[in-house]
């Protein structure tokens, strides 16, 4: 499956999955009416849950509404946004953090998706060390001042601290859960590890049946955790 078949755009309407992304973007905007929210981290409990695809498509969907959007590849260990988009790998976040290069020099427009991209770059030091520097907060504030939305794709929560560092520099976190792949214990541990940040909700990736165990689990979780506001799945049904 090539990048163009995985990424939505204004000219690439793909039925229910595309509508789910529009609903996800709509709910993010509605949440922002109740609390300041501009920078969104998209993460998951473990690898291969589809968080990068969700992050890219969320950025594209927000940008389709004429919002000024930046997408940041915050995975300094295994960057994949450039590959998903089919663009050359370039310096980016790592160089802004490590060498304090100008952010503006590394933000590039992605056409026809109408958002700007800051790639992960190539870290020379341990990514966790870089992401725990005060410079990260400075970079995040700088980018947020220029855009209406900033979407950050991060590494999974397990086993590194990277995603938690990036979440601390953001306004909200969206957790991607791949149905039939992610265990309930992993989801619970992920949410608990994010207790110091605002979890805007959970995206169920690939949920095709309303009566699946994950659908029931999400309903119970939502009833017991007010921080997890309802969001929409990608490639599945909309949760009520």
pLDDT digits (tens, 9 = 90+) for 22-81: 888 988 999 999 898 999 999 998 888 889 999 999 999 999 887 799 999 999 999 999
> Does a structural domain hold residue 60?
yes
Does any domain span residue 161?
yes
Residues 151 and 157: their CA atoms lie apart, in Å, by 17
pLDDT computed for residue 159 by the predictor: 83
Residues of the chain with pLDDT under 70: 1-17, 207-240
Residue 108 to residue 38: CA distance in whole angstroms: 19
pTM for the whole structure: 0.82
| Number of domains observed in the structure of the chain | 1
Q: How far is Cα 228 from Cα 79, in angstroms, rounded to an integer?
A: 27
Report yes or no on 123 lying in a domain: yes
107 pairs with which residues across the strands?
118
For 113, phi then psi, to 5°, come to: -80, -10
**Matching residue, tokens 């992993």:** 186
240 found inside a domain: no
Residue 7 confidence (pLDDT): 53
Residue with tokens 């969700």: 54
- Find out whether 141 and 86 touch, Cβ atoms under 8 Å: no
Confidence (pLDDT) at 158 = 83
State the pLDDT at residue 208. Answer: 54
The verdict on residue 233 lying in a domain is no
Domain-located, residue 239? no
* Domain range for 184: 22-224
Domain CATH number, residue 165: 3.40.50.300
Q: List residues bridging with 151 in a β-sheet.
A: 40, 71
| pLDDT at residue 23, as a whole number | 86
In a domain, 151, yes or no: yes
On whether residue 9 sits in a domain, the answer given is no
């Amino acid at each position: 499956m090539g990048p163009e078949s995985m990424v939505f755009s204004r000219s690439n309407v793909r039925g229910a999955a595309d509508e789910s992304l529009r609903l996800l973007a709509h709910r993010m905007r509605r949440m922002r009416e109740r609390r300041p929210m501009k920078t969104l981290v998209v993460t998951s409990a473990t690898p291969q849950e589809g968080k990068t695809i969700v992050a890219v498509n969320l950025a594209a969907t927000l940008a389709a509404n004429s919002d000024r959007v930046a997408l940041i590849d915050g995975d300094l260990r295994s960057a994949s946004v450039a590959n998903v988009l089919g663009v050359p790998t370039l310096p980016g976040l790592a160089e802004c953090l490590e060498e304090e290069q100008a952010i503006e020099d590394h933000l590039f427009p992605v056409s026809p998706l109408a958002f700007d991209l800051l790639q992960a770059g190539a870290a020379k030091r341990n990514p966790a060390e870089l992401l725990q520097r005060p410079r990260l907060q400075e970079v995040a504030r700088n980018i947020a001042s220029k855009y209406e939305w900033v979407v950050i794709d991060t590494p999974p929560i397990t086993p590194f601290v990277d995603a938690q560092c990036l979440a601390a520099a953001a306004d909200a976190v969206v957790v991607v859960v791949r149905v039939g792949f992610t265990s309930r214990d992993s989801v619970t541990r992920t949410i608990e590890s994010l207790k110091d940040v605002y979890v805007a909700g959970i995206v169920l990736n690939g949920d095709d049946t309303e009566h699946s165990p994950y659908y029931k689990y999400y309903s119970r979780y939502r009833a017991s955790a007010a921080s997890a506001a309802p969001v929409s799945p990608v490639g599945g049904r909309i949760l009520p």
